[in-house]
Amino acid sequence: MPRFLLAAALLALGGNACAYPADTAPVSVTLRGHHYSVELATNEAAREHGLMMRTSLAADHGMLFVFPDTAPRGFWMKNTLIPLDILYFDAERKLVSAQVDVQPCKADPCPVYPSAGPARYVLELSAGTAARIGVRNGDTLAIEGRLGTVD
């Protein structure tokens, strides 16, 4: 088989391998007109690990924590190496509170950053994002894509 045909066949197969199955398609959110690609944390293990040990987070990326219920939430920065904005949203996806410019934890125990009200969704973005886009309580979070099973 000529090399260019082999290369074309491999590219075609590789392109199909990169396609996302319906249940793992990328999820994104929009807040105040700004679009972010997000990783999901929809189970206890993923929510506990969060963005730990990351050394960077792109300006247009974040992590969306989805809980099975609406309740007061508290996050901490143990083993989180990058400063973050932590945005808490209720079941209607309205912003109930924000903890902004939260710095990595260097103490033990690490402080907890609570929500000011019950939350079901928590969005973590690079520190300074909330101020840059003018986030305010009551802002609505739009979620595009399938969240899958939440437990």
Three-state SS at 23? helix
Q: Is residue 72 part of a domain?
A: yes
The single residue listed with the structure tokens 């989805």 is 66
Q: Which pLDDT value is given to residue 12?
A: 37
Structural domain harbouring 59: 21-144
Q: Which pLDDT value is given to residue 114?
A: 98
Could you give the C-alpha distances from 72 to 55, 75, 98, 138, in angstroms and in order?
28, 10, 13, 16
Helices in 18-145 by DSSP H: which ranges?
A: 44-49, 129-133
Position 24 confidence tier, pLDDT thresholds 50, 70, 90? low
Could you give the C-alpha distances from 63 to 6, 7, 86, in angstroms and in order?
39, 36, 10
CATH assignment at residue 52: 2.60.120.1140
Mean pLDDT of 16-34: 68
The residue type of 83 is: P
